[in-house]
Amino acid sequence: MIADEFPTPSWEERFPEPIKFLPVAFILALIAGLWWIYVTCHLLPMMQESHSRGLAWLELLIFHAVTAMLLVCYFLCVFVHPGTIPDKNEDPSWEYDETEGPQPLATDTVLSMQESKRTGERRHCKWCLKYKPDRCHHCRVCRMCILKMDHHCPWIYNCVGFRNYKYFFLLLLYTSIDCGMIVFTMLPSVRAGTTPTTPFMTMFLLMFGETLAGFLGVLVTLFLFFHIFLMQKGMTTIEFCEKSQGSSGFDSSAYDRGFVGNLVAVLGDQPLLWLLPVAPPKGRGLSFASEDSRLTKDMEAGRGIRRHAHRETPVAPKRRSERPYHCGGTGSTGQSEDSLSGSGSDEARSLEPDLGSSRGPHGREVQGYGATDDAGTGSRESPK
């Protein structure tokens, strides 16, 4: 499934600390525990009664199908690497030469890049000594740069990024369905289990399973809705956190490709396979500039720049490192070095002003839409 065209780091590089597999073991134990409770305390007793046997078989079938999908997605989340910057042998153009210092964006690079530092230089990672593609961030835990990094998730001992985001999204979806199914279909068994004739252990397991599935279900479903929101905005969790601290609002993602385009960017370009853990989005995860996104971006960026110009010109730009992330999720988004380090190699990066700075060379492309200088006048509708 994982093509060789994407060389991934070795097992030792990816999983240097076996102790960090403990959360993974915990999740697997949770899944196994809930499965066992649902089957032995709910499905098997139902099958012994002739009037509920048919329903029990139906529930057994659906429950196992959803659980199988959940497990496949979970293993893919753990073992599919989100992708990192190509190494020297593969593509030397990403190598950063410390002696030369950061270089300004080359014209051909500008065409394919949307993000740069405020100074107009290419973003680079001081740990990996590589130039960073758009949406790429360094993860402290993984000790490498992650393409289209969303967040680092300790529960899968992996980062969520370009190549495993689809599996992560589907994992949330199937977990929500599975927990919801346990909660609602097991309710009659829980009620029946409260009679005094029920053995204590059965009663305890039913209550425990119902509570645990309910708790997990609510948590994961909320998380799923958050990621549906992000998907529809064409944003990653890190970009959401950046926006939540900025002044540009959540409607100006540079990577918004419209309703279907955003779905395709996450779930792949085959609608029939959207809900299956196969056929992730195509591409290398190194460039996200498409014609659609660029046109949208230019319009939106024009407004963004204007806002920035009004609000930020009189004062020195705030450094992102001064404002720690307060972002939701599994609480691990802040592992991105970009957000935590005070080194200044990257904190000054900001999407909106740089969108403007990178527009020059392709201003020609958007002239049909009124060119970039007009974009900020608000007189034209975004082509969304």
Applying CB under 5 A, the residues found at the interface with Zn ion are 125, 127-128, 138-139, 141-142, 145, 152, 159
Residue (128 or 241) nearer to Zn ion, CB: 128
Phi, psi of 202 (to 5 degrees): -60, -45
Cβ of residue 74: shortest distance to Zn ion, in angstroms? 17
Report DSSP letters for 327-371, one per residue: --TTS-GGGBHHHH--S-SSTT--HHHHHHHT-GGGGGGGGGGTH
**In the complex with Zn ion, which residue's Cβ is closer, 145 or 173?**
145
Please give the Cα distance from 312 to 315 (Å, whole number).
Answer: 6
d(CA 382, CA 257): 12
Question: Closest separation between CB of residue 94 and Zn ion, Å?
Answer: 11
Distance in Å, CB of 155 to Zn ion, minimum = 12
Residue type at position 247: S
Strands (E) in the chain, as ranges, are 124-125, 130-131, 137-139, 144-146, 151-153, 158-160
The CA distance from 301 to 318, in Å, is: 19
- Residue 161, SS3 per DSSP: coil
Q: Residue 214 has which token pair?
A: 């309910």
Of 34 and 76, CB closest to Zn ion = 76
Nearer to Zn ion, 252 or 335 (CB): 335
Neighbouring residues of 14: CB distance < 8 A, sequence distance ≥ 6: 8, 81, 142, 158
Q: Specify the 3-state DSSP secondary structure of 2.
A: coil
Catalytic site includes residue 139: no
Nearest to Zn ion of 127, 223 (CB atom): 127
Instruction: Give the shortest CB-26-to-Zn ion separation in angstroms.
Output: 18
CB of 191 to Zn ion, least distance (A): 44
Cα distances (Å, whole numbers) of residue 83 to 169, 246, 273, 318: 17, 28, 22, 30
- Which residues, including other chains, have CB under 8 Å from residue 47's CB and lie 6 or more apart? 53, 56, 57
State the angle between helix axes of 200-233 and 22-37 in degrees (0 to 180), rounded to the nearest 10.
120
Q: How far is the CB of 108 from Zn ion (least distance, A)?
A: 23
User: Which stretches within 278-343 are classed as H helix?
Assistant: 291-312, 337-340
Find the catalytic residue in 136, 139, 153, 159: 153
**Shortest CB 82 distance to Zn ion, Å:** 8
3-state SS assignment for residue 309: helix
Cβ-based nearer residue to Zn ion, 67 or 345: 345
Query: Partners of 336 in the beta sheet?
Result: 139
CB atoms within 10 A of CB 3: 6
Cα separation, 128 vs 115, in Å, equals 18
Q: Which is nearer to Zn ion, 128 or 170 (by Cβ)?
A: 128
Considering the complex, state which of residue 15 and residue 369 has its C-beta at the smaller distance from Zn ion.
15
Which residues are known to be catalytic? 153
